[in-house]
Structure 1
Amino acid sequence: MSGTSYDGIDVASADIDRDGDTLTLRPLGAFTLPHPDRVRDLVTSVLPPRSTTVAAITELDTALGQAFADAAKRAIAEHADGQADLIVSHGQTVFHWVEDGRALGTLQLGQPAWIAEATNTPVLSDLRSADIAAGGQGAPLVPIFDALLLPRTDEPRAALNLGGIANLTVIPPDGPILGYDVGPANALIDAASLALLGDPFDRDGAVAAAGTVDADLLRLLLSEPYYNRPAPKSTGKELFNDAYLTAHISTSPAAGRPADVIATVTELAAVTIARESDQHDVSALIASGGGTHNSTLMARLRHHLDEGRTLSTIDEFGIGVDEKEAYAFAVLGYLSWHGIPGVIESVTGADAASVLGRLTMTPTTPRPPAEAFTPPSELRIV
């Protein structure tokens, strides 16, 4: 997969099996393959608020498909002894269409035919559309992985993904599991760093640490209506993009102080995540994603969490912080292959849970097994 920050292709290889109602996932290896400059430039050129053409979309769909194919070939060679049963390709989200809080469509590019042709392996792609067709947000999809990996305890816990957008999965002691997009994590930090300093991101949060939070700018950013919308909800760079940042800092004295702007948008991420965590009374946050490498963001998040709430990372469960989403989509692919829905309706708001994705077959693709497979209740990393 390639995330909201589109800095590279995250690849994870797994051997997944089942023992009764427990899935076992054996990590075989993972890596991030940086996007070629041409691909990254093409993604940048089509993302909102920029306008684009069908020709540019077609070119990007092909270029991404070929890049994903190269990544899959490398993973199969290095991790799977030259053969895989299934490849799951999330693709690159270029538009997530939401109006008045309702998701109406979504588009992920990266033509799966290139992957299937290069690897002679069936490819599951387009994992979000089925949920949207069933009335859901199509996002986030990782909460089913979180719910399987993090069993319920006596106190609410939450899994946090710090990608371009911050996603939260709340697992209460009982009752429905919640999951939704909180708001920007790295999206506005990266946009500010690139626009004001020419750097694609704030490495380790060093610039933010050197800056001072501008209270007026933070207050303006916190007035965004999205934060007060009830879940289920989802968002992306259709809202939180470079034009959004420019519009909000254009009248702020902080605009001439890059470090202060970056400190402020870092504080925005920490404040909004902590506020949502406190609202659900979570006792522990288990974080993953690129934002965990931003020590300033993590420190500010710890600062804002109510006393007694802990912040740790997914590493303690046997999955690296940069690998979790790719492994999660491997699990979603395993469920789809066996005809099991990969959605929690209380998370996306769908009328019914859907079997996700569509298959691109190869001449030698075996058909999914015919035996009945009941939904699992637990995921164990071995």
Structure 2
Amino acid sequence: MRVVGLMSGTSHDAIDAAAADLALDGDTLVLTPLGMISTAYEDGLRAELARALPPAATDLATVCRLDTRIGQAFAAAAVRADRELCDGRSDLTASHGQTVYHWAESGRVYGTLQIGEPAWIAEATGRPVVAGFRTRDVAAGGQGAPLVSVFDVMWLRGRPGVPVALNLGGIANVTVIADGPGGTPLAFDTGPANALIDAAVRELAGGGDPDGGDPGVARSMDVDGVLAARGTVHPGLLRKLLDEPYYALPAPKTTGKELFHLPYLRAALDTCGPLPAEDVVATLTRLTARTVADAVRPFGATEVIASGGGTRNPVLMRWLREELGGGGGGGAGVPLRTSDELGLPSGTKEAYAFAVLGWLTAHGLPATLASCTGARHPSVLGSLTPGAAGVSLPAPLTTAPVRLVVRAPRTTR
């Protein structure tokens, strides 16, 4: 089955569309990557989305417009992926949609909202669409995230020790694969990855490129960690940020930009007085590295396998290696590598993961692990929107695959 997975994360900068050929071989799901394309949101759409996100107030007319326009943008990405990556022969689209609100209070999730109406995708592609993945897990008492955990456990099962999968998007999340006797996998959001860094860049350093680029182009991220490399970590600001109660909550737990947003950062900065933008970005980069390492350390991790946009920030990766190694205080520490070393490009893993979740749903199989989301039981996820030919799904499977293998695609000359 050829499945196109669509993903736009908490950075809400682009739609990633990854195409996978998925086939069952005994108890192993074999994933052959067919490629990925990334399509940036049109500037006006991204600006309207940013204005509507928490803690901003919005109205239902705006939500309706965004749901429609984002659905149309996802549809265009799916059509392009089907044409360019699947030769027009995809069987299913799995759309995560765009998260706009994650209703979490005191460690419990009460609701979650992803927009990007799947009917637009089905109409444009003619293929059935699985969407709305997170809500079913929330209804079952879970956090609704990180849903990539089932992919991580299948993918990393059997590796020695205690491997940890790390995603560095707007929010950082980890899956701890405890595969030994009596081991139970666990997954949770550790806190901000790029969310606060991006907010600081837009607020404090968004006036143009200091390296000689177009001075009229506002920046939205610390490309290549340039600002962090120039800055100095401010100890007082770092201490203030580390006092955030979220970090002390037990797992499983989830968070988002409902907490880690620009006003949150401004409130912390108000306690420290004016600081250069470079120092703020450096401090936030160290915050991400510190909180990820602090979250991983208690589990006795033997390796951390990172993916997501944060892997492109060499300063963040270097500081994360330092934190995992005890800050250079001796000892080998915990190795940090990227998913590229295991056959999955670090920028594509989440989109491929949702292709797998769509495959599981199409076969009537649960796509959650209760220990990872905190739900009462595993759930078959999502809702199905029929394609042009109605609903034609494979026969349900009674047993789920337990392993996932990434197989290099065949090349032809």
TM-score if structure 1 supplies the norm length? Answer: 0.98
Which of 320, 329, 334 is 2:345 aligned to? 320
Determine the structure 2 residue equivalent to 1:226: 246
Matched with 2:192 is: 184
SS in 1 for 2:281: helix
Match for residue 196 of structure 1?
Answer: 204
| Residue 5 in structure 1 maps to residue 11 in structure 2 | yes
Partner of 2:310: 291
Q: Which residue of 1 aligns with 2:113?
A: 107
After superposition, the CA RMSD in angstroms is: 1.0
- State the distance in 1 between where 2:337 and 2:385 align: 38
The answer for the alignment partner of 2:335 in structure 1 is 310
Alpha-carbon shift at residue 251 of structure 1 (Å): 2.4
Residue 341, structure 1, aligned to residue 349, structure 2 = no
For residue 371 of structure 1, report the CA deviation from its aligned partner.
Answer: 4.8
Summarize the alignment of residues 77-156 of structure 1 with structure 2, pairs less than 5 Å apart.
Answer: 77-156=83-162
The aligned amino acid for 2:170 is G
Q: Is 1:240 matched with 2:260?
A: yes
- 2:289 is matched with which residue? 270
1:37 corresponds to which residue? Answer: 43
CA-CA distance at 1:367 after TM superposition = 2.9
Structure 1 distance, partners of 2:361, 2:391, is 14
- Alpha-carbon distance in 1 for matches of 2:132, 2:51: 22
Mapped partners of 1:366, 1:135: distance in 2: 29
Larger CA deviation: 210-219 vs 30-39:
30-39
C-alpha contact 2:179 2:185 (8 A) present in aligned 1: no
In structure 2, what is the Cα distance between the partners aligned to 1:66 and 1:227?
A: 37
Q: Which amino acid aligns with 1:23?
A: L
Shift, 1:173, TM fit: 3.7
Show structure 1 runs of 4+ deviating over 4 A. Answer: none
Q: CA deviation at 1:64?
A: 0.2
Q: Does structure 2 conserve the Cα–Cα contact (< 8 Å) formed by 1:96 and 1:236?
A: yes
Number of residue pairs the alignment of both structures matches: 381
- 1:44-96, Cα deviation, whole Å (9 max, x unpaired): 01100100000000000000001011101100110111121110010000000
Equivalent position to 1:206, from 209, 212, 226: 226
AA aligned opposite 2:27: D
Which is worse superposed, 146-155 or 310-319? Answer: 146-155
Matched-pair contact (CA < 8 Å) for 1:152–1:171: no
Distance (whole Å) between structure 2 residues aligned to residue 40 and residue 83 of structure 1: 30
Q: Which amino acid aligns with 1:319?
A: L
Question: Does the Cα contact within 8 Å between 1:153 and 1:172 map onto a contact in 2?
Answer: no
1:355 corresponds to which residue? 380
1:153-204 per-position Cα deviation (integer Å, ceiling 9, x unaligned): 4411100000000001111242110110000000000000100011200011
Match of 1:375 in 2: 400
Assess if the C-alpha contact under 8 Å between 2:28 and 2:405 holds in 1.
yes
Deviation at 1:346, TM superposition (A): 0.3
**What is the aligned partner in structure 2 of residue 256 from structure 1?**
275
- 1:18 corresponds to: 24
> The residue matched to 1:316 in structure 2 has which SS?
helix
Distance in 2, Cα, partners of 1:47 & 1:314: 30
Name the SS for the 1:176 alignment partner: coil
Deviation, 1:38, is 1.7
Task: Give 2:215's aligned residue.
Answer: none
Q: What is the distance in 2 between the residues matched to 1:364 and 1:104?
A: 36
Equivalent pairs: percent with the same residue? Answer: 52
Contact 1:152–1:172 (8 Å) recurs in 2: no
Gaps of 5+ in 2: 1-6, 207-218, 326-330, 408-413
Which consecutive unaligned segments of at least 5 residues does structure 1 have?
A: none
The DSSP-based 3-state class of the residue aligned with 2:232 is coil
Distance 1:370 1:173 in 2: 30
Structure 1 Cα separation of the partners of residues 275 and 25 of structure 2: 59
SS in 1 for 2:96: coil
Change (3 A) 1:81 1:131: same
The CA distance in 1 between the partners of 2:347 and 2:390, in whole Å, is 30
Write the distance in 2 (CA, Å) between the matches of 1:259 and 1:31. Answer: 32
Distance of 1:242 and 1:41 partners within structure 2: 15
Change (3 A) 1:4 1:370: same
Residue identity opposite 1:376 in structure 2: P
Once residues 21 and 153 of structure 1 are traced to their aligned partners in structure 2, the CA distance between those partners, rounded to angstroms, is 17
Secondary structure at the aligned position of 1:312 is classed as strand
Shift of 1:31: 1.6
TM-score by length of 2: 0.91
Q: Render the CA deviation track for 1:220-275: whole Å, top value 9, x for unaligned.
A: 0000000000001000000001111111111213x331111100000000001111
d(CA) in 2 for partners of 1:153 and 1:116? 38
Q: Is the 8 A contact 2:365 2:396 kept in 1?
A: no
Question: 1:123, 1:202 → 2: CA distance?
Answer: 35
